[in-house]
Amino acid sequence: MKSLRQLSPKEIRLLIRKGKWDKPTAGRAMGYAQANLVILPEEYAFDFLLFCQRNPKPCPLLEVLESGKFRTEFMSSDADIRTDIPRYNIYRRGKLESSVKEIKNLWQPDFVTFLLGCSFSFEEALLRSKIPIRHIEENKNVPMYITSILCKSAGMFKGPMVVTMRPIPPDKVSRAVQITSRYASVHGAPVHIGDPSKIGITNIHKPDFGDSVTIKKAEIPVFWACGVTPQAVVMKAKPDLCITHTPGHMFISDLLNEELATF
């Protein structure tokens, strides 16, 4: 029998669909793009789509399913968005109501589904180029910070950009910029390099989400836009109903990370 590490995206999605697997997806189906999920009723869909268009670094759209559609078309030909994600968070008016393994019974014909790129894709590319990723080395969550950089607002959706931080040795910063520039659809190039106070971060050792990681002597903190941004913005806007993946429990697509690279 195949070990879990060897399963294809489709095989993992089938396990998930049958309710046999509901764990975080990091390290699964290596090489394939994973995606953040946001489902909103149609009345909010135009403004959220516009918010993503205006803020492509924190909100890199990979696929949008029109009202009522629950089958993906581009990221996979056979995925069902109601069952194929390991865990879902249900938010009503911005408050977490429950965390569930499928949403068939909650599905509404006016639901619009957004799948957004995730930094797992560019981290794999960084690792392939021997650029160290501290939170992976230290077996932690990536540190995330709420910044003073304001997103461009769209209708009810507005708020600060959330960023991730990876400490990079001085001789590798340039290469890290080059590599992540290729992945515009998964947050792209850094939004800030160096002095955290310039983007409103007062204590680099106290992230707002995730874990603090070691910054070695001479290493430069490099900041990328983070997929937590759209979720924070949606929660703040308090739509009547919003369904997301549970953090870390992503949609696993059939697209190779390499297919997302722009050049």
Exposure class string for 71-92: b at 16+ Cβ within 10 A, else e: ebeebbeebbbbbbbbbbbbbe
Distance, in Å, from the CA atom of 190 to the CA atom of 173, rounded to the nearest integer, reads 10
Of the candidate spans 93-101, 138-146, 181-189, 191-199, the one that interacts with a second copy by CB under 8 A turns out to be 181-189
Cβ 234 to a second copy, closest distance in Å? Answer: 17
Q: In sequence order, what are the beta bridge partners of 221?
A: 167
Binding mask of the shown chain, residues 23 to 52, with x at each position contacting a second copy by CB under 8 A: ----------------------xx--xx-x
Distance, in Å, from the CA atom of 80 to the CA atom of 229, rounded to the nearest integer, reads 25
Give whichever of 44 and 145 is closer to a second copy, judged by the CB atom: 44
2 binds a second copy (CB under 8 A): no
Q: Where are the alpha helices (DSSP H) in 182-252?
A: 228-237
Cβ–Cβ contacts within 10 Å for residue 228, how many?
22
155 binds a second copy (CB under 8 A): yes
Cβ 165 to a second copy, closest distance in Å? Answer: 21
Three-class SS state of 9: helix
Q: In sequence order, what are the beta bridge partners of 95?
A: 92
Give whichever of 64 and 213 is closer to a second copy, judged by the CB atom: 64
109 binds a second copy (CB under 8 A): no
Binding mask of the shown chain, residues 120 to 149, with x at each position contacting a second copy by CB under 8 A: ------------------------------
Cβ–Cβ contacts within 10 Å for residue 150, how many?
11
Give whichever of 8 and 108 is closer to a second copy, judged by the CB atom: 108
Between the alpha carbon of residue 113 and those of residues 61, 72, 79, 154, the distances in Å are: 11, 9, 13, 18
189 binds a second copy (CB under 8 A): yes
Binding mask of the shown chain, residues 67 to 86, with x at each position contacting a second copy by CB under 8 A: -------x------------
By CB under 8 A, name the binding residues for a second copy: 45-46, 49-50, 52-54, 61, 64, 66, 74, 152, 154-155, 178, 181, 184, 188-189, 262-263
